[in-house]
Chains A and B, each alone.
Chain A
Amino acid sequence: MPLNCARCKAARAILKRPKTRDALCKECFFHCFENEIHNTIVEGNLFKPGDKVAIGASGGKDSTVLAYIMKLLNERHNYRLNLVLLSIDEGITGYRDDSLETVKQNQKDYALPLTILSYKDLYGWSMDDIVRQIGKKNNCTFCGVFRRQALDRGAIKLGCNLIVTGHNADDIAETILMNVLRGDIARLKRCTAIKTGSGDNPEENVVPRCKPFKYTYEKEIVMYAYFKKLHYFSTECIYAPNAYRGHVRSYLKDLESIRSSAILDIIHSGEVLAVDEGIKLPVLGACERCSYISSQRICKACVMLEGLSKGLPKLGIVKSSKVKMIKREAITDGKKCDEKCCSFTCKSETDNKTNCKS
């Protein structure tokens, strides 16, 4: 029973859009997909001519499609952006090795320069080292906090004034739900923003970030990659996945199967949730150790590194007075961070996915 495309009425439909329930042909799907992202970019004022933009590339579906789309739209609409690929090597044998090969392929296919930064170089610890030290529990927290800083450092090193990430509508709805469930108002505000670290609070990030896929459904990203024959790498991180996010994700998928607009509805809710002026949000200052931006006296990454070297890996993961005590101790140590973690600002883990994805 061939069905004709709802848009051109001529060609055979190949996909039902989750957003509109329209059945579209391949060409109309490509057109709508690309145009909607272009519109998101224009309406959100995401770029200005001359921006040097680091594309956070993991070799996974979202960042592979992001690299392709950024190059395509930059040329088609003459954004005049200088695009580069930035990958983080967490140092997970057998996981990152393969995905980095995919990123290298992207570099060739899209003719974009690529820089790879490793945790080992930046922090002195690879994820394999960290897991050997702390076991498989909680390592996603380390990975997420370290990755966030790593992307900032890489972008600064490359002279980029902006980072784009492949967070899609499903990811953002998921993060909004998680922050609601955890009652984390500060992050709820941040994760909803299409662009962070610029405008009203220039101090918020070291390098401003934006999410061109904020309103793009995961299904369409995967379908686009399939029909465009874009090769991406998909596997699960070999270390424990973020179980909490996993549950939220299934819940969201179930909601979506009943009501297809659920994802955009949740994003909309996140956007219109206002924080009452009487509510005190954490004030961001600089980490006393490495001077990376932080809402605490010592940033999360420094606390975690401290924990690793002292054999107290729970530091920075559990919030307790005990940790605060150790933190005070750390400050009074008067020791400065070694060079590797200095002169950058950090902040605690944010809207970045913590389940081993950049």
Chain B
Amino acid sequence: MSNHLNIIVEFKGGMELLFDNVTKKELSLPVNSGEDGSAPVEWTIKDLINHLKEKHLKERPELFVNDDSIRPGVLILVNDVDWEILGENEYKLADGDKVLFISTLHGG
């Protein structure tokens, strides 16, 4: 039985420039309950970052990721909480989560 994890992803602070100027995306990520292994059983932020890089990023991936991890200088908030107190890459996304990426690297 296949299911979906529904989350909202937002981009601010210039991050949106890398995503075709889109500031908000509603994503429905496939989740597998375990039988056929065609989709992950759960999604971590790390998986989400990879997914965004592979499927949604339009330009200059080096401004978004660095060796498979978020580029230093990009802030991530999950439901308005700093991901640094949520376990960073290992945080497991839950249905309805709002994940915000803010670039501090774009000119001020």
Residues of A within 8 A of B (CB): 1, 3, 12-16, 23, 58, 60-63, 166, 218-219, 222-223, 226-227, 232, 234-237, 241, 249-250, 253-254, 256-257, 355-357
Contacts and interface: CB of A to CB of B under 8 A. Distances in A.
19 contacts: A1-B86, A13-B82, A14-B85, A15-B84, A60-B108, A62-B108, A63-B108, A219-B75, A234-B103, A234-B108, A235-B14, A235-B107, A237-B107, A241-B107, A250-B72, A250-B73, A253-B72, A254-B66, A357-B108
Given A236-B17, A254-B72, A14 B107 contact: no
B30 interface: no
B58 interface: no
Contacts of B77: 226
Contacts of B75: 219, 222-223
B28 interface: no
B25 interface: no
Nearest to A226: B102
Interface of B: 12-14, 17, 66, 71-73, 75, 77, 80-82, 84-87, 102-108
Main secondary structure of the interface of B (DSSP, over half): loop
A13 B85 contact: yes
A355 B107 contact: yes
Given A14-B82, A236-B14, A356 B107 contact: yes
A257 B106 contact: no
A355 B107 CA distance: 8
Contacts of A254: 66, 72
Nearest to B73: A253
Main secondary structure of the interface of A (DSSP, over half): mixed
Most chain A beta carbons < 10 A, residue from B72, B103, B107 = B107
Given A249-B105, A253-B72, A235 B17 contact: yes
